[in-house]
C-alpha cells in the first residue's frame, strides 16, 4: 500500500486590476492542498474556488482549449511569459515545476498594444487587426482543384508549417524589451510567402501588415532573441529576417 500523494502549498503574488481604466497592483494569496501534477490553470481554479467561498472576487484569467493549442492562457510567471519551462504554454505547465512553499508572481502580458482588460486578461485584438491587413489568401481560385494540381514539395510544405505553427499567443511581444511583434508578423508573412498560393498578394501583404503593426504601437525588433526563447512553439527568428527582406522587396516594387 502506497502513501497518498503529498500536496503542496504556494504563496502567490497576483496582479489585480478591476478594469482597463483602474490602477492595478500585486495582491498576496496563499493556496494549499495543490496536487503537484495539476496544471498551473487548475491551481488558479483551486484558488478561485477558495476566494468564492470567502465571498471575494475571483482572479480573472483567460483560457480556452487548455491543450497548448490556442495560447489564450498566456500570462507572465515569475517574469517569464508562460513560465519557466521552454516551449510550453501556461496551461501545460505543471505545479511540480515549483517547490513547496515558494512564492510565485503572476502578471498579465506587458505591452502598450496589449492593454489590460481585467486582472490577468489582456486585449490581443491588435494581432487580429494585423492579420486583417493581409494574413490570408483572398485569390478567387474557383472550384476545388484536382489533387496535386499545384505541386508543392514536402520541404516547402514543412517549411511553411514551421511558420504556420505560430498560435498568436503574444509571448514574443511580452518577452521583448521593445514589445515588438516582428516574430508574429514575420511568421504569418513567411508562411504565405513560401507557398505559391500567397505569391499574388505578396507585395501588398508585406506593406500592409507592417504598416498595421506599427500603427498598433508595437516596438521595433533589435535582435535580442527573447521572442524565440519565449515562444511555446519555438518559432525561429529566421522569420524576422524574412519579414525584413519581404518589406524591403515590397517597398522597392511599390
Beta bridge partners of 29: 12
Read off the pLDDT band of 1 (50, 70, 90). Answer: very low
Are the CB atoms for 90 and 77 separated by under 8 Å?
A: yes
Instruction: Give the pTM.
Output: 0.92
| 129 and 38 within one domain | no
How far apart CA 86 and CA 141 sit, in angstroms, is: 40
Q: pLDDT for 82-133, tens place per residue?
A: 999 999 999 999 999 999 999 999 999 999 999 999 999 999 999 999 999 9
User: Could you tell me the CA-to-CA distances from 79 to 7, 63, 175 in Å, in that order?
Assistant: 25, 19, 9
Residue 174 maps to a domain: yes
**3-state class of 212 per DSSP?**
helix
Residue 222 has pLDDT above 60, yes or no: yes
Residue 120, pLDDT score: 98
**pLDDT tens readout for residues 21-31:** 999 999 999 99
Q: Report whether 241 contacts 182 (CB < 8 A).
A: no
pLDDT in tens, 51-65: 999 999 999 999 999
For residues 63-87, one letter each, b for 16 or more C-beta atoms within 10 angstroms of the residue's C-beta and e for the rest, the string is beebebebbbbbbbbeebbbbeeee
Domain that holds residue 194: 124-137+153-253
Q: Residue 231 is placed in which grid cell? A: 515562444
133 and 224, same domain (yes or no):
yes
Return the SS3 of 220.
Answer: coil
Are 159 and 81 contained in the same domain? no
CATH number, position 65: 3.10.20.30
- The pLDDT of residue 2 is above 50: no
pLDDT in tens, 39-94: 999 999 999 999 999 999 999 999 999 999 999 999 999 999 999 999 999 999 99
* 110 & 161 share domain: no
Helices (H), 58-146: 125-132
Amino acid at each position: 500500500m502506497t502513501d497518498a500523494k503529498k500536496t503542496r502549498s504556494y504563496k502567490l503574488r497576483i496582479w489585480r486590476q478591476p478594469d482597463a481604466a483602474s490602477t492595478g497592483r500585486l495582491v498576496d494569496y496563499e493556496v494549499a492542498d495543490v496536487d503537484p501534477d495539476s496544471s498551473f490553470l487548475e491551481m488558479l481554479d483551486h484558488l478561485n474556488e477558495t476566494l468564492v467561498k470567502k465571498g471575494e472576487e475571483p482572479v480573472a484569467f483567460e483560457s480556452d482549449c487548455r491543450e497548448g493549442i490556442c495560447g489564450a492562457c498566456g500570462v507572465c510567471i515569475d517574469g517569464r511569459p508562460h513560465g519557466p519551462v521552454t516551449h510550453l504554454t501556461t496551461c501545460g505547465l505543471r505545479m511540480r515545476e515549483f517547490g513547496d512553499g515558494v512564492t510565485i508572481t503572476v502578471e498579465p502580458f506587458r505591452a502598450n498594444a496589449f492593454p489590460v482588460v481585467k486582472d490577468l486578461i489582456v486585449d490581443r485584438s491588435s494581432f487580429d487587426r494585423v492579420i486583417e491587413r493581409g494574413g490570408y489568401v483572398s485569390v478567387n481560385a474557383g472550384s476545388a482543384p484536382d489533387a496535386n494540381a499545384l505541386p508543392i514539395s514536402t520541404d516547402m510544405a514543412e517549411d511553411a508549417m514551421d511558420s504556420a505553427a505560430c498560435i498568436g499567443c503574444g509571448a514574443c511581444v511580452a518577452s521583448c524589451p521593445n514589445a515588438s511583434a516582428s516574430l508574429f508578423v514575420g511568421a504569418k508573412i513567411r508562411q504565405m510567402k513560401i507557398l505559391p498560393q500567397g505569391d499574388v498578394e505578396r507585395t501588398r501583404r508585406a506593406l500592409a501588415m507592417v504598416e498595421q503593426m506599427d500603427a498598433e504601437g508595437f516596438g521595433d525588433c533589435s535582435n535580442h532573441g527573447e521572442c524565440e526563447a519565449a515562444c511555446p512553439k519555438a518559432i525561429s527568428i529566421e522569420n524576422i529576417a524574412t519579414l525584413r527582406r519581404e518589406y524591403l522587396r515590397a517597398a522597392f516594387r511599390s
